Chain A
């Protein structure tokens, strides 16, 4: 069963700042629909009064990563798209994956070492023959 990796979305904005207009429109119009469409994500709306930091959408994931996205001077539709993008992500860091595969047991027959294809007299120590 699919478990959504996004735990909660925090909408931090100021109700009076000019660049938080999109955030305010989002809260008025689209936030309820978004919350209904994504029932396993908790949406917190925390307006802080007065001039504060830039409006930010904070996403917290199940593995603990916290991702902040600036929503200053963004329209309500763009914020919806951003929120759905964050909701479909997992919390893994967005860096280049070196290899698309990984194994904990790469070798089943035993990894090659310089003595694999040599005669076993070099490796095996038999019982020491007693001098007659």
Chain B
């Protein structure tokens, strides 16, 4: 005879419980305490770990930018310039280097960074002359702007 559904007293039992548990525990192996072994504690910890890692992706950008700024500040202070002066004068000289690249240059290419600091310093002096001198002296060389059309 054709049976469309099983009898009510027949239960289906899980056979791959081990693998379902391992799927969660594999992400908890490096945790501390019982939550790297016990499934019930691990489920909560793993879920919180995932949520934290998702949210931290936005914080990572802020954190890395602050790190770069700290490094650039330290490097420019070695050359006698403060960070706001350095960044603003580089921007005025149309040097469009971002903080990541500047930090890497400060670490791996110290001579290049020194020349960039010198450029910012020179542009700063020209800015002072232009602001205080009042129009009679010619415009500074490094204050010229290149227009790309």
Alpha-carbon separation in the docked complex, A111 to B105 (Å): 9
Q: How far, in angstroms, from A106 to B105 measured CA to CA in the complex?
A: 10
Q: How many residues of A contact B (CB 8 A)?
A: 9
- Compute how far the CA of A70 lies from the CA of B81 in the bound complex, rounded to whole angstroms: 62
Check: B78 CB closer than 8 A to any chain A CB.
yes
> Contacts of A108 on B, CB cut-off 8 Å?
108-109
Most chain A CB within 10 A, of B78, B79, B108, is at B108
- Report yes or no: B114 in contact with A107, Cβ–Cβ below 8 A: no
Is the contact region of chain B dominated by helix, strand, or loop, or is it mixed? helix
Query: In whole Å, how far is B112's beta carbon from the nearest beta carbon of chain A?
Result: 7
Count of B interface residues, CB-CB < 8 Å: 11
Which residues of chain B have C-beta atoms less than 8 A from A117's C-beta?
78-79, 110, 114
Cβ–Cβ contact A109 & B112, under 8 A: yes
CB distance from A10 to the nearest CB of B (A): 24
- The residue in A106, A108, A117 that gathers the most chain B C-beta atoms within 10 A of its C-beta is A117
Residue A110 lies at the interface, judged by CB distance under 8 Å to chain B: yes
B106-149 CB contacts (< 8 Å) to partner A? 106-112, 114
Residues of chain B within 8 A (CB-CB) of A111 are: 107-108
In Å, the complex CA distance between A117 and B112 comes to: 12
A39 to B111, CA, bound (A): 53
Instruction: Verify A116–B109 contact, CB threshold 8 A.
Output: no
Please, what's the 1-or-0 string for B85-113, where 1 marks a CB less than 8 Å from any CB in chain A?
Answer: 00000000000000000000011111110
Chain A residues with CB under 8 Å of B114's CB are: 117
Which residues of chain B have C-beta atoms less than 8 A from A109's C-beta? 108-112
Complex CA gap A96/B33 in Å reads 27
CB-based nearest B residue for A113: B110
Residues of chain A within 8 A (CB-CB) of B75 are: 112
On whether the beta carbons of B112 and A112 are closer than 8 Å, the reply is no
Pair A106/B110 contact, Cβ less than 8 Å: no
CB distance from A123 to the nearest CB of B (A): 14
Which residues of the partner chain A approach B108 to less than 8 Å between Cβ atoms?
106-109, 111-112
Instruction: Mark out the residues of chain A between 83 and 110 whose CB falls within 8 Å of any chain B CB in the assembled complex.
Output: 106-110
Chain A: minimal CB distance from B109 (Å): 5
- The complex places the Cα of A116 from the Cα of B112 at a distance, in Å, of 13
A-side contacts of B110, CB under 8 Å? 109-110, 112, 116-117
Across the interface, do B106 and A112 meet the contact criterion of CB distance under 8 Å? Answer: yes
* 5 nearest A-B residue pairs (beta carbon): A107-B108, A117-B78, A109-B111, A112-B110, A116-B110
| Interface CB pairs A-B, < 8 A, 9 | A107-B109, A108-B109, A111-B107, A111-B108, A112-B106, A112-B110, A116-B110, A117-B110, A117-B114
